[in-house]
Amino acid sequence: MSEQVHVPTIAEFTARGETPEVLFWVGCAGSFDDRAKKITKAFVRILNAAKVKFAVLGQEESCSGDPARRAGNEFLFQMQALNNITVLNGYGVKRIVTACPHCFNTLKNEYPALGGSYEVMHHTQFINALMKEGRIKVEGGSFAGKRITFHDPCYLGRGNGEYEAPREVLLKLDAALIELKRSKQNGLCCGAGGAQMFKEAEPGNKEVNIERSEEALAASPNIIAAGCPFCNTMLTDGVKHFNMEGDVQVMDVAELVANAADL
């Protein structure tokens, strides 16, 4: 994945006196993590294929502050949030889409109390809407009949009650959607939330991502679908732990759609 993609910044739009349809909030993982960058690119391919007039903040984007708030550092969270809100409000941003459930939760639920109110969507919701509007079409294709299971990100599912959008998208791939034993409201965390991604786990007898990956592998899927860059990392590591990376792929919903539609 070394293709060059053109991604307009919101500053470019503003300079032309135009307003994008939606702001794509890339997030720190999506910008810097090698695995998550592929998800970002896949989502951009979808946006371009659907001819969505979107923009990114680019160098003006900063961490949403989610891990700082969960780690108890409210000062740092609010510094991040207030600075981001100044930038977002400065550009008159109304709609935001992001591929990270943590950014999604923070921007959608926690920024309003600090003066930043936007319509915020998770990318699986956005892709689902594009499909329903007929702006992108996926014809069966490479994933038809494949066993795909969806791991619910806590901050999308339990946190914000969105269980159906990612599943509706996966069903449009003509895939055989299989549910894990613990799914939707009862979904098991991948182990990365609450700032755990950035620290070592406390002593125990197992890693959370191993517990979850074991459960996912027990469903014998061809693909484990994720909707969060952190879940993706945790499950990828878990699948490797069981030496199953040759048989089972961990992929984001956006990557599946982009590949199926051959974008």
Partner 1 sequence: MISSIVFVVLLGAASWLFGRNILRIRRNILLGRDVAINDRKSERWAVMTRVALGQSKMMVRPIVGVLHIIVYAGFVIINIEVLEILIDGILGTHRVLSFMGGFYDFLIGSFECLALGVLLACVVFLIRREGLRVKRFWMKEMTGWPRSDASIILFTEIALMMAFLLMNAADFALQGMGQDHYITAGAFPISSVLAGLFDFHAIQPSSLILIERICWWFHIIGILAFLNYLVVSKHLHILLAFPNVWYSSLKPKTELANMERVTGEVKSMLDPAIAPPVASARKVEGVEMPERFGAKDVFDLNWKQLMDAMTCTECGRCSSVCPANLTGKLLSPRKIMMDTRDRLEEVGKVIDAKGKWEDDGKGLGSRITDEELWACTTCNACTEACPVNIDPVGIITDMRRYLVMEESKMPGSLTTMSTNMENNGAPWAFAQSDRLKWTE
CB 93, min distance to partner 1, A? 17
> Exposure of 169 by Cβ count < 10 A (0-12 exposed, 13-18 middle, 19+ buried)?
buried
Q: Which of 28, 97, 148, 173 binds partner 1 (CB under 8 A)?
A: 28
Strand partners, 150: 225
CB 250, min distance to partner 1, A? 18
| Comparison of 41 and 167: residue with beta carbon closer to partner 1 | 41
Query: Interface residues for partner 1 in 234-263 (CB under 8 A)?
Result: none
Spatial distance between the Cα atoms of 184 and 52, rounded to a whole number of angstroms = 30
The pair phi, psi for residue 95, each rounded to 5°, is: -125, 135
CB 225, min distance to partner 1, A? 18
Spatial distance between the Cα atoms of 31 and 95, rounded to a whole number of angstroms = 20
CB 211, min distance to partner 1, A? 6
CB 75, min distance to partner 1, A? 6
| Comparison of 8 and 174: residue with beta carbon closer to partner 1 | 8
CB 172, min distance to partner 1, A? 26
Query: Interface residues for partner 1 in 175-234 (CB under 8 A)?
Result: 185-189, 191-208, 210-212
| Comparison of 146 and 233: residue with beta carbon closer to partner 1 | 233
| Comparison of 61 and 255: residue with beta carbon closer to partner 1 | 61
What pairing do the DSSP bridges indicate for beta strands 223-226 and 249-252? parallel
CB 222, min distance to partner 1, A? 25
Query: Interface residues for partner 1 in 60-99 (CB under 8 A)?
Result: 61-63, 65, 67-76, 78-80, 82-83
Longest dimension (CA), the chain: 58
Q: Which of 27, 44, 185 is nearest to 102 (CA)?
A: 27
| Comparison of 100 and 130: residue with beta carbon closer to partner 1 | 100
DSSP label of 261: T
Q: Which of 94, 135, 158, 241 binds partner 1 (CB under 8 A)?
A: 158
Spatial distance between the Cα atoms of 22 and 56, rounded to a whole number of angstroms = 9
Query: Interface residues for partner 1 in 104-143 (CB under 8 A)?
Result: 105, 108-110, 113-114
The side-by-side arrangement of strands in the sheet containing 119-122 is 54-55, 22-25, 95-98, 119-122
Size of the site for partner 1 (CB under 8 A): 76
The enclosing H or E element of 23 equals strand 22-25
